[in-house]
Structure 1
């Protein structure tokens, strides 16, 4: 199994106001966003369940964050062709299921609408949308395959949790000493601990593994569409500017899973504009 680094190490953070909204503040983990992480599904991914590397991180299905998330994926399912989806149920209707785990925090409000407890259905130990090895359409997510075929970005077709990983965004309304209130969006690494107590039991998790830190460009560039969707265009542009400026100055604490020379090398190779 590919090795992983310990989750605690020095990180470089930056905080800045959103140029498009002074009531929105972004707090970003530059160590993570300047790292060389990239998805290695099908090319080195060891999977989160022992003996199932072809599942990647799709073994447990995907939970929906809210009604909009569910509706977007429902619309995408209607556009799936037979060559996209190996395990399409008859009638295309039975692709979700209620989670039976009773692991809500005691002080957490019940999910009245049922969306948070709803996930993509599991078939033979993995997500119903995961095409298995040997499928003519190729191994991997059917929703991702359809997006590529239609020249769409996968964030428009896949559940929120699937396209956001491994970036973690947390939002909090913060009251300042003068009585004003701002929305603080914190973006950083979705490491094992992001999954809660169960994260320690994952067979493997890619964010801390050198096997997944093999991109020739930093995450702030390769995840531009996802970061833009999470923060907004103006905030993303400012985040990229600040990350590149600090890389140029050699001020970003490096991610221990990334090759040592990557941050400075990448800053010289960044595209213009």
Structure 2
């Protein structure tokens, strides 16, 4: 599959006259709970030629490839990515540590990865993951019967928030790492691991009675984390000048500009 994705990346470069700086997996495969029929959620960052940026008009700064049953591919322009990096965007932070890497060039990803903790905002991270957990819990886990897969889209962001609370750093991308480090109640851990085995085996769409020990944990933690979110704060030096320099560096490196 990797060669198909790399071919698609090169096709995007030709069609849009850009250079891709890196491309990674970002969905359930990267999080550690793929199903047998999971598609591939490919995310990338790219850079246009210098003249593209020298315009009086704002231009579209994303590239989206039509989704099919196997591939979901889209990417951000480097300037958009750096603006979001400045805000400690959790999705981008996950891209940087994804273990499933399809394509890398010019050293850009490694440079951002080295700077990741310098821009980390616990407030941005907790609010992102807590909003995700609340929304998915409200939407999918309220009935007497629920789908197995929906538990993971609430548990993972809850555990990501708990990681920030405990370590004040970006949470790891793998769900299993979060469970191993943060779930200490044996009954709860056993229930989560059982669901994980079943999801990977392909039972994720089954409707069945909700798992009370997991639901109780989620309700308790969402209440607690809502209070914790009010206290998260970290004063950071403004990284804008550093990121401006990085932007100019890669215009020169990739296109021999200036």
Specify the TM-score bucket, using the shorter chain as the normaliser.
under 0.3
Bigger RCO (CA 8 Å, 6+ sep): 1
TM-score (norm 2): 0.24
More helix by share: 2
TM-score (norm 1): 0.23
